Amino acid sequence: MATLADAPAAGTDDAFREEVRAFLAENFAPELKGNNNALSAVEGPSTETPAQKKWREAMGERGWGTPTWPKEYGGGGLSRAQAKILNEEMMKAGAWNPIGGMGVMMFGPTLLEYGSEAQKHEHIPPICRGEVRWCQGYSEPNAGSDLANLQAFAEDKGDHYLVNGQKTWTSGGQWADKCFCLVRTDRSDKHKGISFLLIDMDAPGVEVRPIQMISGVSPFCETFFTDVKVPKENLVGEEGQGWTIGKRLLQHERTNISGGGSMARMMGPSVSDIARAYGETDADGRIADPVLRDKIADYEIRWNTFLLTARRAAEESKASGGVSEISSVLKKLGTKLGQERAELTIEIMGLQGLGWEGEGFTEKELEGVRGWLFGKAFTIYGGSTEIQNNIIAKRVLGMLDHQ
Amino acid sequence: MAVLNEEQEMLRDMARDWATNESPVSAFRKMRDSKPDERYLADTWSAMAAMGWAGIVIPETYGGSDFGWMSAGLVVEELGKTLAASPLTMTTLAASAIVLGGSDEQKAKWLPALAAGEKVATLAIDEGPHHAPDKIAASVSGGKLTGTKAFVHEAHGTDLFVVAATDGLYLVEKGDGVSLSGRALTDQRSHANVTFDGAAADKLASGGDDLLDQILDRARILTACEMLGMAQQVFDVTLDYLKQRVQFNQVLATFQALQHRMADLFADLAQMRSAVEAGLEALDSGHGIGRAAAIAKATANDVLHTVSREGIQLHGGIGMTDEYDIGFYLKRARVLEASWGSSSQMRDRFATLSGF
């Protein structure tokens, strides 16, 4: 990706490390430690404290929330080595990245690759400053795994499109400022009739209805477009290029889902620690139930191995300059392990691990239950496990199309 | 595949070319059918020795190349793909026991000969059908070893045994007081129960209290390398078969039920390679070897188990025939799964080393 260019290092690595330390000492107030409030699309509206706001603005001004993005669009312009130093120093200081959400994880990298100069200058800097919340207008009631079946239509009206249709599973739609959207501009060709359009969520004709989920919360919405006027300059790439651009964005999404993202936030203590806290241990501090201990060891071995596989995929991609073929298995493996972890945790905790609300449960316990339920989405969104299997079989293993 | 240096890449390519051209599965068949006394073909072993493979983990001062465990693992993996029958793995492990625990005199006596492939060595640890390093009864008194070791790998062709006794590891040469009783297992490689009846034993005294654990961790990781090669080969051969076999007027590879099973195996295999390579990296760096070995062997056991079963099933009836190679992998797989630690033993060890 040429647009994510490695900028020449400003001075030595040591000098940069000093610069980062000085910046953190000046801008990251100690009371912010563990007090994370990244601008995330799925976790509710931003309720920033003044200290959090100051921290976001300081990071945004430097572009360090998006450290390797080009400086000309508001990114940090750092080399990979410098970004690593920044990350290391932030971890040491207990500092978190206040710039996040779908704009950073999915839309930004895609726009940097496919957007026009004007679009990049308009949309990337606010993402880098953490000022704008993006949502994803992909799925429709009849276009889930068969995403290319989408029907929301953008009619050409000369200087603008008139958009009509319905999107669903719009994560954080009720809090989003803007939506990157796949719409149909041509009904005669399933894939080549799709275009990639940017829509203001406060434009007249946009209506958002939250969907209550099995977890009890409503992180996803239905989004309705009724005669929504969208200026032509909000088309990314060419008309009909939407499927290509949209798939590229999904690669970023999958990397984030499997490589941590929403799942890593749920991690917290290890399963073995939970087992020792909630179950019996023997005189040596071992988990007393040998069957449970075996199960936990099996899980932790596979989780450790998954982390090794993710690291290997990154190293191989870097060494070859392309995408490693094992990247295709990360989403499927990581999401399954994330779900298994939640199930195993509940098994360890017994009924104490199934609290829905109210007294008798700690905040962490209740969060864990909601997380277990929310986590059922891991293997469905971002391309279900079954779709991942199709991709692996066809693209990596060269097995023929079954249709 | 780990990102390799030039030397490692050369070694791997050399091993791959040699295994493909000089030691294909037909060479294993030939060995099986002709049943040489050593249970490997003499020219197979001499070719390996000539390429320096027996000395990969032996220091240069003792005639080895000291290329390290990643290099050794790459070679063993490639040989696993074609089921090349040789004492390379066992000799490498026995040599590493001498490197870790031997005196200067013991090293000088054995390592150059092992590095050159002039002598063959093996490990004799377990005393029953299960891996049980905490249940060793063989004992040494006055420099004489007494006891019986079960299912010793490569026992037929070996010159030297590294034997676990109650108070440590000993070197015992084949000869007086050592008798073999062959045990033909499904893999049709060399296995034997070995009885030591007052055999002269020379202690490996320098390795510390956990020398046996260190050797077993190496055995687990290097065995996992062979298993990785086998699993990869079963997967590749099966995928090729699915792309050729036609039923219901279409090649099997077009059936989604089979595509998803292959996608699952592909993911399993990715995990297996990560675990095995991390084991080799741990050996070369010297950090976290115990846990890495447990992860490598447990993962190798589980994945090869699944892949070897699926390989037969996806071949259908033809996979049941001796004419097809696929069955050989199944029959070797179970022997290696049971050697140096079953999955449940590895999980127990992982849990213990992790503090739960």
Residues A223-255: tens digit of each pLDDT: 999 999 999 999 999 999 999 999 989 888 877
**In the prediction, which pLDDT does A43 show?**
55
What is the percent of chain A with per-residue pLDDT over 70, rounded to a whole number?
91
Residues B196 and B222 in one domain: no
pLDDT tens digits, one per residue of B318-348: 999 999 999 999 999 999 999 999 999 999 9
For chain A, say whether B294 makes contact (Cβ under 8 Å): yes
User: How far is Cα A22 from Cα A226, in angstroms, rounded to an integer?
Assistant: 51
- Is pLDDT at A28 greater than 90 in this prediction? yes
Q: Are A89 and A158 within one domain?
A: no
Looking at the fold, whether A266 and A294 belong to one and the same domain comes out as: yes
H or E segment and range at residue B148:
strand B144-153
| A388 assigned to some structural domain | yes
Closest CA–CA distance from residue B267 to any residue of chain A (Å): 6
pLDDT of residue A267: 56
Among residues of chain B, what percentage have pLDDT more than 90? 97
List, in sequence order, every residue forming a beta bridge with B202; answer none if it has no partner: B171
Most B-contacting residue of A399, A401, A402, A403 (CB-CB within 10 A), to test interface: A399
Same domain, B109 and B52: yes
Q: Do B260 and A276 touch (CB under 8 A)?
A: no
CB contact under 8 A, B275 and A308: yes
Last residue of a domain, one of A99, A128, A157: A128
Q: Is B235 on the interface with A (CB under 8 A)?
A: no
Say yes or no: B219 and B271 in one domain.
yes
CATH code for the domain of A280: 1.20.140.10
User: Are residues A146 and A196 both part of a single domain?
Assistant: yes
Mind listing the pLDDT tens digit for each residue in A50-60?
Answer: 888 899 999 99
Q: Which residues form the domain of A216?
A: 134-239
Do B109 and B13 belong together in one domain? yes
ipTM of the complex: 0.94
φ, ψ at B355 (rounded to 5°): 85, 20
Query: What is the reported pLDDT for B109?
Result: 98
Q: What is the CATH number of the domain that holds A32?
A: 1.10.540.10
* A274 at interface of B, judged by CB pairs closer than 8 A: no
CA distance A311 to chain B (A): 9
**Mean per-residue pLDDT for A129-155?**
94
* CB-CB neighbors (< 8 A) of B269 in chain A: none
Q: What is the CA radius of gyration of chain B?
A: 20
Domain identity same for A173 and A58: no
Average pLDDT rounded to a whole number, residues B134-160: 98
Q: Read off the tokens for A133.
A: 């919340």
In this structure, are A142 and A97 located in the same domain?
no
Question: Catalytic residues of A, which ones?
Answer: 253
Chain B CB within 8 Å of residue A316 CB: yes
Q: Does the pTM of the predicted model rise above 0.90?
A: no
Shared-domain flag, residues A297 and A382: yes
Cβ separation of B262 and A399 shorter than 8 Å? yes
The partner residue sitting opposite B344, judged by closest CB among A294, A316, A398, is: A294
pLDDT of A91:
87
Same-domain pairing of A118 and A163: no
How would residue B29 be classed by pLDDT, with cut points 50, 70 and 90?
very high
Task: Report if residue B299 sits inside a domain.
Answer: yes
Q: B141, B169, B203 — which closes off a domain?
A: B203
Residue A51 Cα distances to A36, A48, A390, angstroms: 11, 8, 47
Residues A120 and A164 in one domain: no
Which pLDDT value is given to residue A262?
42
* Residue at A5 is within a domain: no
| Domain end position, chosen among B184, B203, B222 | B203
Rounded to an integer, the average pLDDT of A127-156 is: 94
Would you say residue A123 has pLDDT above 90?
yes
A24 belongs to a structural domain: yes
**Domain edge (last residue) among B179, B203, B227:** B203
Per-residue pLDDT, B111 = 98
Reported confidence tier of residue A265, pLDDT bands at 50, 70, 90: very low
* Whether residue B277 sits in one domain with residue B184: no
Is residue A281 pLDDT above 80, yes or no? Answer: yes
Residue A11 scores a pLDDT above 60 = no
Please indicate, yes or no, whether residues A388 and A369 belong to a single structural domain of this protein. yes
pLDDT band at A261 (very low <50, low <70, confident <90, very high): very low
Residues B107 and B186 reside in one and the same domain: no
CB of A275 within 8 Å of a chain B CB? The answer is yes
Q: What is the mean pLDDT of chain A?
A: 89
**B107 and B165 co-located in one domain:** no
Q: Which 3 state secondary structure label does DSSP give A229?
A: strand
CB atoms within 10 A of CB A245: 21
B150 with B94, same domain: the answer is no
Classify residue A7: in a domain, yes or no: no
Q: How far is B158 from chain A (nearest CA, A)?
A: 35
Based on the structure, what is the number of domains in chain B? 3
Contact yes or no for B270 and A309 at CB 8 A: yes
Tell whether B1 is covered by a domain.
no
- pLDDT of A35 higher than 80: no
CATH code for position B64: 1.10.540.10
- CA distance linking residue B356 with residue B353, whole number of Å: 8
Same-domain status, A263 and A375 = yes
Domain shared by B80 and B139, yes or no: no
Q: Residue B102 domain-assigned? A: yes
Whether A10 shows a pLDDT value over 50: the answer reads no
Signed CA dihedral, A115, A120, A122, A124: sign only: positive
Residue B232 lies in a domain: yes
For testing the chain A interface, which of B243, B266, B353 should be mutated: the one with the most A CBs within 10 Å? B266
The answer to whether B248 contacts chain A (CB < 8 Å) is no
In a domain, A251, yes or no: no
Q: Of residues A277 and B220, which shows the higher confidence score?
A: B220
- Give the mean pLDDT of B94-101: 98
Residues B243 and B345 in one domain: yes
Q: Look at chain A and report how many structural domains it folds into.
A: 3
pLDDT of A264 reads 46
Least-confidence region, from A311-325, A348-362, A377-391, B25-39: A311-325
Whether the CB-CB separation of A332 and A255 falls below 8 Å is answered with: no
Give the CATH number, domain containing residue B146: 2.40.110.10
Residues A141 and A205 in one domain: yes
- Separation of first and last alpha carbons in chain B: 31
Is B239 in CB contact (< 8 Å) with chain A?
A: yes
Write the pLDDT tens digit of every residue in A70-120.
999 999 999 988 998 998 899 888 898 988 889 998 999 999 999 999 999
Domain boundary among A180, A204, A239: A239
**Contacts A390 to B, Cβ<8 Å:** 256, 259-260, 263
Reduced to 3 states (helix: H, G, I; strand: E, B; else coil), residue A37 is coil
pLDDT confidence bin for A38, thresholds 50/70/90: low
The CA distance from A329 to the nearest CA of chain B, in Å, is 6
- The predicted structure's pLDDT at residue A317: 82
Same-domain check for residues A274 and A384: yes
Top mean-pLDDT range of A15-19, A145-149, A279-283, B95-99: B95-99
Domain CATH for B343: 1.20.140.10
- Interchain contact, B273 vs A285, CB within 8 Å: no
CA of residue B237 relative to chain centroid, distance: 21
Among residues B112, B4, B124, the alpha carbon closest in space to that of B49 is found at B112
A2 in a domain, yes or no? no
* A323 vs B: CB within 8 A: no
Q: Residue B129 is part of which domain span?
A: 121-203
B230 and B341 share one domain = yes
Flag whether A3 is in a domain.
no
Whether A1 is in a domain gets the answer: no
B335 domain residue, yes or no:
yes
- pLDDT for B98 equals 98
**pLDDT computed for residue B22 by the predictor:** 96
Residue B35 counted as domain residue: yes
Count of CB pairs separated by less than 8 Å, A with B: 123
Amino acid making up residue B281: E
Mean pLDDT, residues B220-248: 97
Q: Per-residue pLDDT for A260 more than 50?
A: no
Do residues B78 and B130 share a domain? no
